[in-house]
Amino acid sequence: MVDYISGLNEPQREAVMHGNGPLMIIAGAGSGKTRVLTYRISYLIENGVDPFRILALTFTNKAAGEMRNRIEKVVGTEARNIWMGTFHSVFAKILRIEAKAIGYSSNFSIYDTDDSKSLLRSIIKEMALDDKIYRVNHVFGRISGAKNRLIGPDDYLNNPIIQADDESARMPHIGKIYKQYALRCFAANAMDFDDLLFNTNVLFRDHLDILNKYQHKFQHVMVDEFQDTNVSQYLITRKLAAVHENICVVGDDAQSIYAFRGANIENILNFQRDYGKENVKIVKLEQNYRSTKNIVEAANSIIARNKNQLEKHVFTDNEDGPLIEVIKASSDNEEGRLVASAIFETKMNESLPNNDFAILYRTNAQSRAFEEALRKMSIKYRIIGGLSFYQRKEIKDLIAYLRFTVNQQDEEAFKRIINLPKRGIGDTTVAKISVIAAEKEDSVWEIVAEINKHVTGRAALAIEAFADLIKSFKLLLDQKDAFEVASHIAKASGLLKELYEDKTVEGLARYENVQELLNAIKEFVDNPDNEEKSLGAFLQSVSLLTTADEKEDDGDNDKVTLMTIHAAKGLEFKNIHIVGMEEDLFPSQMMLESRNDLEEERRLFYVAITRAEKRLTMSYAETRYHYGRLKMCEPSRFLMEMDQRYLKLSKLRSAPSRMDFDKPERDRSESTSTGSMSFVRSLAQRTARTQNPQTAASHTPSPDFAPTSTAELAAGQRVEHAKFGFGTVKQVDINGTDRKATIQFETAGEKVLLLSFAKLRVVA
């Protein structure tokens, strides 16, 4: 028996060995939560709990796989009997078993985002709506949001508040689009990602016998990353745990960053209320094993400013480590150059590989400057969140053939492959088939299978040949495994031949990608953990993949990683660069409407900081192009909110701006000293009390606006600020290296600005 208990600290041991009843594990960043959840499941099995009666829910297949492998090392192959996976994969499994109860067949397709948007485009076009008003991304997001709040199409149409919102947005027909979308998905025997949760709730709501079956089946329910659950996920887990109440949730409210996807932080904040304060066991994992003391304490100083949080204090016994370096750049392009140079310098000085470094940004659009700078220095990099392997055209084409072979009701797959490779079947013929199917209330396949009754001429012959092809593929499903069926379809469909004959570099790459897909299917079939080797089982595993689950294309993992902070959740790197630390960029201008929004942005910053193990660097630019116009930028309030003891303003990396050139030599160097941060911090505290973010005045700078020297600034002078507008200097204070000015602005009111950071144009 593996001795894993002795290697745990006291709170970890307490969580692992807790018996029955609700348990909430508040796991600070880097505190070993995966280890605790893994060992807790192992401990339950070793103490007599049947693994078939344990349900463990995660947010990525990768996390589930790692946990299962760790458990197997402790308890052996019994670990394979645990119901473990993502919310979507576990509930898809339940829905396939119980599909008949809600009117589906067990071979339903799972639409990805592209499939859903394609169907919505068709519906918008059929309803003769203006696609410039009914933008498909907005409509898709609106429907997705409704499903995550368990609002079906009828409820949507009958809700006066929702209807009023759509009216005010000049999109009064979204409800009708939603209704048609739901009907078309059902007719196609298809569910989108949100349906996997929505329909599980419907299943448990309308079929209490099925709910009762799973309530008694699962003796213990475990939920990882509980702070990221939405209303739908929360209700399902609460229902499943209602009989035994052996529910264990693990999470950190300080890392709740997915409100835009429907995540509800109240789920973790109110867990005690839901199960009774006297019944819930709370264990706090507060020791950070990942980061240095300076990084941990800096992160604490930031998150402490949030009001809406569970009480905890993260600490570490690790070394102090270097201070957090802050780099100032004159532009976004220079920021890219300085960050790439810093990475190169650290790599050379400390003989580190590229994969020890990551660059984190708030939005994907920021990657350009860093890509260019890294390329110029011949530093290899990878971007997380780019085009997924399974989103490439040639891959989606073959997957569509596989999907239609399994489920002939799948209209989106049909539309993709009916003339692929080209068979002389035009869009007009395809549209005619859809119209006939709608009029007869049949599926498109039922029309295609008897095409001679509906269409004549060359098109009818081509469609008949296509139908015969699909019928031949279908015969193989029960005779062959996924790899054998897929290999036959790739060849017999003509897809592989068409790609092979394209001898361009791009054509060769597409052919190799399809071969790689077939390799993935073979790997799936050969994996002993996969009990079912059918094509349908493979398609489900692919449809539920997340970006984090996919492998590197070329096998070379020694690359600097570029990604958004959202994508970095759950990862860690020895050296982290957080870039674009500017007001209105981070925090995002779109997240300043309320305290809740701002607190989510602050949690996002906390997540970014706590990804770093050894070294953390932050940078900001004084100017940045925004929608084609050069914008003057201010350092992020988050830089000002951090405890200045842990920061080091870089002298060597900061290139002088126009404003710096006009300063006396002594003032220019001292403006980058660490001491200047003390007033930045006190200024932030003062402005946080006096300025509400949503009421801040906006100002369009004068056409000739350019910051001028403030070395001789005095009371009574008139100045212009890029954001606050025109104002009069009331007084200038000097305290060592810190120079600050109190300015009465015409529209923004009184502000106290640190002159080494402020960008002022002296008017008179």
Residues 6+ apart with CB under 8 A from 295: 321, 324, 609, 610, 612, 613, 616, 646
The SS3 assignment for 32 reads: coil
The answer to whether residue 297 is catalytic is no
- CB within 8 Å of 705: residues ≥ 6 apart: 632, 720, 722, 761
Q: What are phi and psi of 191, to 5 degrees?
A: -130, 145
Is 128 marked within a binding site?
no
Catalytic residue among 225, 325, 601, 634: 225
Element (H, E) at 284: strand 281-285
Query: Is 65 within any annotated ligand binding site?
Result: no
Assigned token pair, 62: 């990768």
**Residue 687 DSSP label:** H
- Does the bond joining 153 to the residue before it have cis omega, within 30 degrees of 0? no
Given the residues 98, 112, 194, 224, select the one marked as catalytic. Answer: 224
Handedness of CA 177, 180, 185, 188 (dihedral sign): negative
- Taking phi over 0 as left and psi of -120 to 50 as alpha, with beta for the rest, 494 belongs to left
Binding residue per annotation — 27?
yes
Annotated catalytic residue, options 180, 255, 346, 409:
255
The reply to whether 28 sits in an annotated binding site is: yes
**Residue 132 annotated in ligand binding:** no
Is residue 29 marked as binding?
yes
Catalytic residue among 611, 739, 740, 751: 611
C-alpha Rg value of the chain to the nearest Å: 29
Catalytic residue (one of 13, 33, 68, 614): 33
Is position 33 annotated as part of the catalytic site?
yes
* Token representation of residue 522: 């073979």
Taking the mean position of all CA atoms in its chain, how far away is CA 192? 18
281 classed as catalytic? no
What is the full DSSP assignment across 688-751? HHH--GGG----PPPTT------TT--TT-EEEETTTEEEEEEEEEEETTEEEEEEEETTTEEE
Contact 694, 593 (CB under 8 A): yes
324-329 and 83-86 beta bridge pairing:
unpaired
**Catalytic residue flag (residue 255):** yes
Q: Check: CB of residue 117 under 8 Å from CB of residue 391.
A: no
The strand ranges marked E within 60-162 are 83-86, 109-111
Tell me: is residue 30 an annotated ligand-binding position.
yes
- Please tell me the chain's helix, strand, coil percentages from 3-state DSSP, rounded to the nearest 5: 50, 15, 35
Backbone angles phi, psi at 733, to 5 degrees: -115, 140
| Annotated binding residue 487 | no
Report the chain's terminal Cα–Cα distance, integer Å. Answer: 81
Residues making up the annotated binding site are 27-34
Which residues are known catalytic residues?
Answer: 33-34, 224-225, 255, 611
Which residues are documented as binding site for ATP? 27-34
